[in-house]
Amino acid sequence: MSKLALFGGDPIRTDLFPEWPRPTSELGDSVLKTLQNENWGVGSDAISRFEDAFAAFHDAKYCISTSSGTTALWVALKAAGVKAGDEVIIPAYTFIATASAVLLANAIPVFVDIDEKTLNMDPVLIDAAITEKTKAIMPVHIAGNPADLDKICDAGKKHGIAIVEDAAQAHGAEWNGKKVGAIGKGGIFSFQTSKNMSAGEGGAIITNDDDFKEACFSYHNCGRVSGGEWYEHQHLGGNFRLNALAASMLMPQLDSIGADMDLRDANKQKLDDALAEIDGIELIRSYEQTTRSAHHLYIVKYKKEAFNGIHRDVFFKAMQAEGVYTYAGYSPLYREKLFVTDPDEYPWLKDHDYASLSLPVTERICDEESVWLQQRHLLGNDEDSQDIIDAFKKVTTALKNEPELFR
């Protein structure tokens, strides 16, 4: 076995992986056309063209574009009827915006644990989390891998609770052959820099519900209503609109996302086939009804008991030395300092003791097991994928056979 780069050996890789976001001539031409020929803000045809195209791509009737995925979450929650003091059920394994949007609506995040096979909200735990204050359930399609929408939507129907999908990472993902996002009341997407479609910043809400669409329009547009006067404001909304230049950046990506998804699918399968053979590395699974994942991230689980009890952080250091950057990703959201609350700042949380909350699967995944690769690692060629495989094999072999090196 060759010497690990961590201890002075030659690394598997010295080249960078493919760049993301990826500038293209089509993207530049689209932006330049808007700069030269169109209104850049309210009323721009570039925005309406993008909204129509994005809705169609996701099998939805409507799209409301927004300034970010976070503002899209807030708008969607308000449009779903979430008010001060209401509760919203969310997973604890997700980006902070899922929870902060609930707080920004003066509502209460109720965290549930995740299914360790998929890392999505565990639908079995939803019923026990529902109270008379529950107004919405917000599953997250983590890493672009759809949550169990059948069971989650069934829970919503049973209790009369809105389902708002956080599909920030799930552009083009499919559940039972239908694109995610508008399977519940509605759903949101992000166009932040790292996402599978990117405008630097931006977001969108999609839905098939007429009333929900109108409410989203109002909350994202300073409380105005469709057909109303410019200085008529019926809700406490904000200026959360997407600008025309961002819409112009996104339009050509709808033409290329299909090929990008095919490439991610193929490279993900190569990694799965090879890494499944490494004892101690476990693959993340999809539900049977998932007909396509967006593969925003590639995540596996590191089982330290297969590697002489050596902590995952050592694995990270060795992988990074080989030229393949891996990392842990999220921590349990309820541990964030944000939730060690000042009762004067968040009085509606005074009866919620997040400090004593413990969700064992989320904590084990975050603290010990999750291994992330960024989506750009899925956008390379066969040699790029083989370098990732070779680095995994080289490092895990050393951890198993030469544990004394890491003591």
107-144 residue pLDDT tens? 999 999 999 999 999 999 999 999 999 999 999 999 99
For residue 216, CA distances in Å to 198, 242, 378 come to: 22, 13, 34
174-229 residue pLDDT tens? 999 999 999 999 999 999 999 999 999 999 999 999 999 999 999 999 999 999 99
Around Cβ 72, how many Cβ atoms within 10 Å? 34
Beta bridge partners, 175, equal 178, 290
237-252 residue pLDDT tens? 999 999 999 999 999 9
Q: Domain residues of the chain, as ranges? A: 25-253, 257-406
Nearest residue to 298 (alpha-carbon basis) of 259, 264, 263, 257: 264
DSSP assignments along 299-319, one per residue = EEEE-GGGGTT--HHHHHHHH
Nearest residue to 77 (alpha-carbon basis) of 109, 105, 111: 105
**Burial (CB count within 10 angstroms: exposed 0-12, middle 13-18, buried 19+), residue 374:** middle
322-358 residue pLDDT tens? 999 999 999 999 999 888 767 678 889 988 889 899 9
CATH of domain 25-253: 3.40.640.10
Q: DSSP strand E in 197-328: where?
A: 203-207, 281-283, 290-292, 297-302
Write down the pTM of the prediction.
Answer: 0.97
Question: How high is the pLDDT of residue 338?
Answer: 84
The pLDDT mean for the chain works out to 96
CATH architecture of 257-406: Alpha-Beta Complex (3.90)
- Categorize the per-residue pLDDT at 41 as very low, low, confident or very high, splitting at 50, 70 and 90: confident
Of the chain, the percentage scoring pLDDT greater than 70 comes to: 99
- Categorize the per-residue pLDDT at 17 as very low, low, confident or very high, splitting at 50, 70 and 90: very high
**Burial (CB count within 10 angstroms: exposed 0-12, middle 13-18, buried 19+), residue 357:** middle
8 A C-beta contact, residue 106 and residue 348: yes
Question: How high is the pLDDT of residue 341?
Answer: 66
